Amino acid sequence: MLDRSSKNSSPSVSPTGDPLTDILRGLRLDGVQYGRCQMKEPWGLEFPAQDAARFYFVGQKGCWMRMPNGDWFEMKAGDAVLVPRGAPHALASSPDVPTTQFKGYEVTEICKNVYCMKTETEGCVPGTLLFCGTMYFNLDSLHPLLGMMPDVMRTHGLEEYEPSIPHLLEAMAREVKMERVGSGGIVARLADVLAASIIRSWVERGCGDSKGWIAAVRDRELGKVLAAIHLEPNRDWSVETLARTMGASRSGFAERFASTVGETPAKYVTQVRMHQARQWLTHDRLKIAVVANRLGYESEAAFSRAFKRVIGAPPSHFRGEDFIEVPNI
């Protein structure tokens, strides 16, 4: 089924019994950079597309955000936005202000991966206090969970369903304004929790979609299968073992899986494995041979063929990328 050996190189991971919890517990934020921005009007920042997710929280005085489709919407103090796949967007004091990429701004590193940015304009009029972050999810950007998310996720529509969000926003606002010792680290952790809360609420509400991956996750039986695959992507999954996980016959499972998820179990398992492989190659910087062995392939060539078939490029393309560490707030 998987064009690989039956070797399983990692121990089993115990499921919790809740498919959504099992899948979300593997979602983490890695390589995080946070910034505290003090902006005097007029100001405008342009953010091109990037691999990392973006997060914004307005601590004082609102601003405007331009979505990937070109529409602008207003953000008020206390609002938060998550751009899960790093889609291109812009922030400005008003929609008619020209936007630039950090030109004319003073950036100072407060502590490791925490930056402060100020405009050069001086004055006594209070400006926008913006907390932002660049966050790398430990999941591949094409992972079904991230791939199905909208380009921009706003908290104002989620607070009704996620009662913890207003308290998190209030705590962030206090820390950002007080500038106490250790505030950067505390705000960073609060932002982690807020991002996870936004994603959890979005998934639990079904995203307004009764079909596809979300429907499968919310289905107790199929969700258990998806959780098992994501918990152990390197396991030698076959249709038979997946059917036993759901407690169904082979044919009944395969038909139900394909009709709900929209693709065969074999194709889905391979996609999850190759997306995980790309994460290991790009972010963990593992060698191709190591990744192939970790996933149980008997040869690097066999792994490379499967990888290119799913991702569209050979693993050497991602392993050979050079990553330059720069402030990305």
pLDDT tens-digit profile of 185-220?
A: 777 777 777 777 777 777 666 565 556 777 888 788
Closest CA to 93 of 120, 57, 61, 70: 61
The number of folded domains in the chain is: 2
130 or 25, which is more confident: 130
Two structure tokens written together for 222: 């199929």
For β-strands 53-60 and 105-111, DSSP reports them as: unpaired
Domain final residue, candidates 185, 208, 231: 208
Distance CA 54, CA 323 (A): 18
CATH number at residue 305: 1.10.10.60
Tell me: do 203 and 230 sit in the same domain. Answer: no
Residue 138 and residue 115 share a domain: yes
Environment class of 272 (CB within 10 Å of its CB; exposed 0-12, middle 13-18, buried 19+):
buried
157 pLDDT band, cuts 50/70/90, is: low
pLDDT of residue 253 exceeding 60, the answer is: yes
Same domain, 259 and 118: no
Report DSSP state, residue 99: -
Q: What is the DSSP letter of 155?
A: G
Regarding predicted confidence, which is higher, 254 or 103? Answer: 254
Q: Has residue 215 been placed in a domain?
A: yes
Residue 278, Cβ density class (10 Å: 0-12 exposed, 13-18 middle, ≥19 buried): buried
Average pLDDT, rounded, for the chain: 78
Q: Are 153 and 196 in contact (CB under 8 A)?
A: no
Of 179, 208, 237, at which residue does a domain stop?
208
pLDDT, residue 124, reads 47
Residues 216 and 201 in one domain: no
- The verdict on 243 and 187 lying in the same domain is no
Within a domain: residue 1? no
Do 117 and 37 meet the contact criterion of CB atoms below 8 Å apart?
yes
Q: Which residue range is the domain that position 307 belongs to?
A: 19-23+210-319
Q: Specify which residues 110 forms β-bridges with.
A: none
Same domain, 173 and 279: no
Is the pLDDT reported for residue 96 higher than 90? yes
